[in-house]
A and B are shown apart, each in its own frame.
Chain A
């Protein structure tokens, strides 16, 4: 009699959805948890993509500075966020920055390398503060923050190197088209934010 109930109970157990209440764990410790966190955060990734595309379009010098300043600012601001432990989420500023970066990529704005690096630093600081304060609430430490900054460094390096090395005209145009998509997402996000505000 009991065995007859077993498939039914097993079916009910399989139906239970995951709770999604905690930081995604990689099973490899806090460093990799942090690294995975960035890879699974589309908003952070989109900002990183926009600023690294811009840096790549502006050449090797802007690319080198961005690759160092972006993760550096991300990590330092993350530590501040971890220490302060206050919610630093500034969605309006992040979306505005996303929009500005997207428009600059789409327009192939001729910014000096220093200005691109400053934008990268600003983005890194904003994302780092938001990540750090969120991690503090979850009880994570600086090692997780190091994982996030490490991931940001690797991704920035890969995107900048790929874009700097683009030679055919159409490939740079494709990068600019992606920039217009980022700007479009930024515009739509303004709408969503105003709806939820």
Chain B
């Protein structure tokens, strides 16, 4: 009878382990994704891929939730719009100094506003958010990989930003309870710490 395997049965566990290790290996991602799906996914992943951006965008939602109506919905509308203005500046080749510092400072300032539960007029809150959004947009908007669909990249990028705000607003709903109010202020201090770490990295 012909042998089914060229290895001894006692070698099978080692072979199984080797096969599992081979399956464990990550994709190389050696090339840029092209086409429409590639553009959308790339845009969607872009704001989520940097913790400094994630922190600031979630913080906008948290602060909006603390401020209540109408800031809770005005801030997440102002941020993507002004972020797009920042992206437009980048695409037009208009330089903006200290982009990384601006992004890091946005987390520090927003964290401080959450920690202090600072209430300010809606217009003032929108201006604060809009100012920092320009830095985030300038950093993001210009990074379209070759061969990808610009509109779908922009769409994915804006949807991801809006979703991060929504996550912040969702978490911020705990503000209606006393313990939630304290927890939100605690979260503000964490945002400050994160922002300071990124600021250190930007200045170093």
Contact = CB atoms under 8 A, between A and B. Distances in A.
Indicate whether A and B interact.
Answer: yes
DSSP majority for the B interface?
Answer: helix
A46 B40 CA distance: 14
Nearest to B133: A184
A112 interface: no
Question: Range of interface residues on chain A?
Answer: 20 to 34
B155 interface: yes
B162 interface: yes
A184 B158 contact: yes
A181 B166 CA distance: 13
B99 interface: no
Among B84, B85, B90, B162, the one with the most A-chain Cβ atoms within 10 Å of its Cβ is B84
B195 interface: no
Interface string B141-167: 100100001111011011100100000
B80 A184 contact: yes
Question: Range of interface residues on chain B?
Answer: 20 to 34
A185 B160 CA distance: 12
Contact of A183 (B73, B76, B81, B87): B81
Contacts of B149: 42
A170 B166 CA distance: 13
B92 A191 contact: yes
DSSP majority for the A interface?
Answer: helix
Contact of B151 (A20, A42, A176): A42
A188 B73 contact: no
A177 B166 CA distance: 11
A170 B81 CA distance: 19
Contact of B81 (A42, A106, A173): A106
Contacts of A42: 36, 149, 151-152, 155
Contact of B154 (A176, A177, A188): A188
Among A170, A173, A187, A190, the one with the most B-chain Cβ atoms within 10 Å of its Cβ is A187
A185 B151 contact: yes
A180 interface: yes
Interface in B74-93: 76-78, 80-81, 83-85, 87-88, 90-92
Interface of A: 20, 42-43, 46, 106, 170, 173, 176-177, 180-181, 183-192, 194-195
